[in-house]
Amino acid sequence: MRILIVEDEIHLAEAIVQILNKNNYTVDAVHDGEAGLDNASTGIYDLIILDIMLPKMDGITILKKIRNQGIKTPVMLLTARGEISDKVIGLDSGADDYLPKPFATEELLARIRAMLRRNSEVLVDGNLKFGDIELNTSILMLIRGDKQVKLTLKESELLEFLMMRKSMASSKELIIEKIWGFDSEVEHNHVEVYISFLRKKLAFVNSEVTINTVRGIGYVLGVKE
């Protein structure tokens, strides 16, 4: 899962990044509204944590703009302003949740998990499921029946992305943007290497799930007939 943090209090943003990284989330952080809008508009994030009071552009304006663009990424407003009116304005503008500062780490993580669950139809009992496999993103484990194999963080993120996309093919460009970031210098052969790693691990657990190459488009998950 890739999360964007838009927060101008740099120490707080860095603390949240550390917390989320320790919980196996991939995180990007920016510190003003214009950068927040630029990043959020890419559509590559699974969740956005957005402060309301920001330099250059406030969080409510960012929220309205990305919703007008058709971006449905779940948004959590994170702000020191705790008045009911601010909460109502944020939710009416398209926010999915609202967490006033200061907050407990456990509550932040619980709210993130809840938002991601609501946004995913394939999340069952904390695991992602497709065909005969389960992916536990918390411990980076690929499971089929009584067999399991450990994944690297990037392998887990890539498999999770393909599982979330279900029957939709994903181009190498989209995979790079989603897994490594839109400003990454990762090349297409890097994706091919990780696809190869995942295929070998699917074979190791004797899964019927396949990663199929769609010529000229990209990759899509399937199940052997």
**Which residues are within 8 A (CB) of 88 and not within 5 positions of it... i.e. 6 or more apart?**
none
Contact (Cβ atoms closer than 8 angstroms) between residue 198 and residue 159: yes
User: What tokens appear for 165 in the block?
Assistant: 């996309």
Alpha carbons 7 and 61: distance in angstroms, whole number: 14
Burial of 211 (0-12, 13-18, 19+ CB in 10 A): middle
Q: Please give the Cα distance from 109 to 174 (Å, whole number).
A: 27
Q: Which domains does the chain have, with CATH numbers?
A: 2-118 (3.40.50.2300), 123-223 (1.10.10.10)
Tokens of 190: 């890097």
8-state DSSP, 100: E
Task: Please give the structure tokens belonging to residue 158.
Answer: 């890539």
Rounded to whole angstroms, what are the CA distances from 190 to 137, 170, 171?
Answer: 21, 15, 13
3-state secondary structure of 59: helix
State the CB neighbour count (10 A cutoff) for residue 38: 13
The CB-side HSE value for 48 (13 A sphere, CA atoms) comes to 32
Q: How far apart are the first and last CA of the chain?
A: 30
CB 53 within 8 A of CB 12: no
The whole-model pTM stands at 0.70
Structure confidence at residue 200 (pLDDT): 97
Per-residue pLDDT of the chain (225 residues; tens, 9 = 90+): 789 999 999 999 999 999 999 988 889 999 999 999 999 998 889 899 999 989 999 999 999 999 998 888 999 998 776 666 777 787 888 899 988 888 899 999 999 988 887 765 555 555 788 999 999 988 899 999 999 999 999 999 999 999 988 778 899 999 998 888 877 788 999 999 999 999 999 999 999 999 999 988 899 999 987
